[in-house]
Amino acid sequence: MRKRARFKGRRAKKGLVMWMKRFILFGALLAFAVVSSGCILCGYLTGGQASGPTLVGECSLASDVCGNGRGWSSPNTDSHCTVADCCGWYVTTHVHDLGQKQTGPVSLFVRYAPGYNEGCSSNAVISKSADNATWTQLASIPVTTRDSADGSGWQKYNTTIPDVRDVRYVKVQIDGCYNDWSSVEVRCG
């Protein structure tokens, strides 16, 4: 009788250890899947184009910032501009290339800083294109050039444009005051 009871105890302990190992393995696989795929639902929401890791609760599909060599700026005639998408230096327009067409619906999180001189007022015009030929204006926001509170340059403005479809290129244009700096991030829905 005693041997049988011990056998049942070892068997129960072995079964418990096996289930604990499975639970730990499942948790590790789940954590890896979340980190490596970014927003799991983003691939579904954007036609399978999710990429890159994201923070918990936020889904970033693509981004571009002036000066990284992917987009371009105009006019690009100043001798200080050494790349096609120069930041600052009397540029009025940055065209951000997101790398691939986002079918959407997505939200565009656009940051920009008007330049030229303190107090200059203009409009930041944000447009989108899927093919870099046909452009659709999404927003026109009044801006005024101001020094940033931390002294790091010009004050940046943030604009979120929801429910955007069929976008690869985003144009941020600030005539009159120049577009000193801009960036675009594509977020889920």
% of the chain at pLDDT higher than 90: 42
Residue 158, pLDDT > 70, answer yes
User: Are 128 and 138 in contact, with CB atoms under 8 Å apart?
Assistant: yes
| H-run or E-run covering 64 | strand 60-65
Residue 61's domain comprises 42-188
Give the CATH number, domain containing residue 165. Answer: 2.60.120.260
What SS3 class is residue 147? strand
- Say if 30 falls within a structural domain: no
pLDDT of residue 29: 42
- Say if 29 falls within a structural domain: no
- Say if 15 falls within a structural domain: no
pLDDT of residue 14: 63
- Say if 9 falls within a structural domain: no
pLDDT tens for 101-147 read 999 899 999 999 999 889 999 999 999 999 999 999 999 999 999 99
Q: Which of 6-15, 31-40, 66-75, 94-103 has the lowest mean pLDDT?
A: 31-40
pLDDT of residue 50: 32
* Residue ranges in the chain assigned as alpha helix (H): 2-37, 42-45
pLDDT of residue 88: 73
- Say if 12 falls within a structural domain: no
Q: Which residues pair with 167 in a beta bridge?
A: 102
What SS3 class is residue 63? strand
Q: List the structure tokens of 30.
A: 């789940």
- Model confidence at 57, pLDDT cuts 50, 70, 90, reads very low
Mean pLDDT over 36-46 rounds to: 34
Residues 6+ apart with CB under 8 A from 96: 64, 65, 66, 70, 71, 169, 170, 171, 172, 182, 183, 184
pLDDT of residue 37: 36
Residues 6+ apart with CB under 8 A from 88: 80, 115, 178, 180, 181
The secondary structure of residue 154, as a DSSP letter, is B
- Say if 179 falls within a structural domain: yes
Largest CA distance in the chain: 94
Mean pLDDT over 150-176 rounds to: 94
- Say if 75 falls within a structural domain: yes
With CA atoms as reference, report the closest residue to 101 among 126, 73, 127, 129: 129
pLDDT of residue 25: 53
Count of structural domains, the chain: 1
Mean pLDDT over 154-175 rounds to: 95
- Say if 136 falls within a structural domain: yes
